[in-house]
Amino acid sequence: MTKTDIGANFKSLFHPKTIAVMGASSTTRNRSNVIIDRLQRFGFQGPIYPIHPKAAEIDGLRAYASLGETPEPVDYVYVAIPAGAIPDALRAGTGNVKFAHVISSGFGETEDGMALQQELAIAGKESGIRILGPNCPGAYCPTGGLIFVENSSPEPGHIGVVSQSGGIAMDIIWSGNERGLRFSAVMTTGNTADVTPGELLEYYLADTETKIIALYLEGARDGRAFFETLKKAKGKKPVIILKSGRSVQGQLAAASHTGALAADDRVWDALFKQTGAIRANDLHDLLDILSAFQALTPRPNRPTTGAALFGNGGGTSVIAVDAFAEKGLNVLPFSQKTQDALIALDLPPGTGYVNPIDTPAGAFQRKGGKLAEEIMDVVFKNETLDAFVLHINLPVLLTQVVTDAKTVETVLTLAETVRQCHPGDEHFMLVLRSDGKPETEHCKQEFRAWAGERGIPVFDELANAASALAGMAAYERFLDSRS
């Protein structure tokens, strides 16, 4: 399918002009009523048609008895009625509906529901309606006015997500928004009776608003087509995949969750190797890698092999070197020229300067913060950097060194000054370590936003930064190999 074809076929899903909602009540409040309310508050501009066999009006909107009776064709219908009634309800919309998101469960995730899921798929084909789901909560697209969970940012971004799990999709939206991630869309597919993750992947690859793609998969019914789509893309956009069901026990859990048949993980290992897709090991890993790709520009002409580390915490730095090494990233000693220049700064006793650079927290206050600037200036001036990771133990600075966040702000501002004085293509990353206390978390969130405005990804621990940088390095190596 061409880029034009895939865009035209799925435009009505991501940017519907009309929406119908099945399952809303005229007498009580249920999740379909909540969806109507959310769509209106989120800013959906088109007409919303409640579908109800008896009610004349629902939530102030005129209701219609079936999908075939709406005054305009329906681009997208949210379906949350009893599972057994859905196939016939869709058939009633033959020729009048393009996409149906089936929220209801009771289908292929249980043995008893397999036949009903097959009937659902047949009903979709007979009626000309493409079906997402069943057994998933909906879609989120800021520019299309689609929302299925509260507290979703209305600010659009460039990350396109496909998730077979509704819960994981919610976590990606909520945790991602808190971390400054912004999405072009998040689409849930549940049991994938019809529309597959591979088709949505193809759409995101063609979509000009989507620059980064993330998928949570429990299995791939269209495995060969999925692989071919990725292979044909040749890494033109980074694709990060969190694949569950890697163990035998995990495969059984996936089958009971969405009815997915998870292939041997060696097959997926081959897919990652041959297509350049990046494997995320868990949800936090996925969000870390997305943070890196949203903020940083891949460097295929000089793939990342290592990093320079600077911060307060000797033991933390040693642990970090192991974490980077485990990810295939070197934290190598600086040149003798750099080391001599660092020694000349009259660093505080106990400072490590070979790489990583670890200083007592009080060093960040020396010369009004200028010592930290001088340290970074020496490294940026004398080293060709793949990546530079600045890590700050916030509780130490906020409770043992200073009583407010002024020192942290000063260090970050001076770090930005150094970067401007030595413009390059290194990946600059920030780690803000916390103790979880509300006051520390508040400070962390403030500086996370500060960094986000300047294109700096922020991580909770150095190990998280290592994992994200390893994802970037893998993508750069793949692009380099293709060239």
Residue 197 has which token pair?
Answer: 């993750």
Distance, CA of 103 to chain centre: 22
Nearest to 49 by CA among 26, 27, 71: 71
**139-295: CATH number:** 3.40.50.261
- Asked whether 279 and 243 are in contact (CB, 8 A), the reply is yes
Residue 263 has which token pair?
Answer: 């292939």
Q: How far apart are CA 151 and CA 142, in angstroms?
A: 12
The answer to whether domain 3-132 has CATH 3.40.50.720 is yes
DSSP state of 362: G
Residue 141 CB contacts under 8 Å (≥ 6 apart), including other chains = 14, 15, 184, 185, 186
pLDDT of residue 12: 97
Residue 201 has which token pair?
Answer: 């992947």
First to last CA, the chain: 25
Residue 413 CB contacts under 8 Å (≥ 6 apart), including other chains = none
For CATH 3.40.50.720, list the domain ranges present in the chain.
Answer: 3-132
Residue 153 CB contacts under 8 Å (≥ 6 apart), including other chains = 142, 177, 182, 183
Q: How far apart are CA 146 and CA 42, in angstroms?
A: 8
pLDDT of residue 433: 93
| Amino acid symbol at 276 | G
Q: How far apart are CA 65 and CA 409, in angstroms?
A: 60
pLDDT in tens for each of the 483 residues of the chain?
666 788 889 999 999 999 999 999 999 999 999 999 999 999 999 999 999 999 999 999 999 999 999 999 999 999 999 999 999 999 999 999 999 999 999 998 888 899 999 999 999 999 999 999 999 999 999 999 999 999 999 999 999 999 999 999 999 999 999 999 999 999 999 999 999 999 999 999 999 999 999 999 998 878 889 999 999 999 999 999 999 865 445 444 444 444 444 567 788 999 999 999 999 999 999 999 999 999 999 999 999 999 999 998 778 888 999 999 999 999 999 999 999 999 999 888 889 999 999 988 777 778 877 899 999 999 999 999 999 999 999 888 887 666 567 778 888 999 999 999 999 999 999 999 999 999 999 999 999 999 999 999 999 999 999 999 999 999 999 999 988
pLDDT of residue 168: 97
Long-range contacts of 30-33 (CB under 8 A, 24+ apart): 30/80, 31/80, 31/103, 32/78, 32/80, 33/58, 33/59
Helix (H, G, I), strand (E, B) or coil at 39: helix
Nearest to 480 by CA among 329, 304, 326: 304
Q: How far apart are CA 30 and CA 34, in angstroms?
A: 6
Sign of CA dihedral 154, 208, 210, 136: positive
Residue 237 has which token pair?
Answer: 């956009």
Q: How far apart are CA 184 and CA 203, in angstroms?
A: 12
Facing residues of 321 across strands?
none
pLDDT of residue 108: 85
For CATH 3.40.50.261, list the domain ranges present in the chain.
Answer: 139-295, 308-482
Q: How far apart are CA 183 and CA 271, in angstroms?
A: 25
Q: How far apart are CA 431 and CA 182, in angstroms?
A: 20
pLDDT of residue 244: 87
Cis check: omega of the bond before 134, within 30 degrees of 0: yes
- Distances in Å between the Cα of 39 and the Cα atoms of 47, 55, 145, 149, 359 are 10, 20, 7, 10, 51
Nearest to 157 by CA among 249, 52, 280, 293: 293
The superfamily (CATH) of domain 308-482 is Succinyl-CoA synthetase domains (3.40.50.261)
- Asked whether 139 and 130 are in contact (CB, 8 A), the reply is no
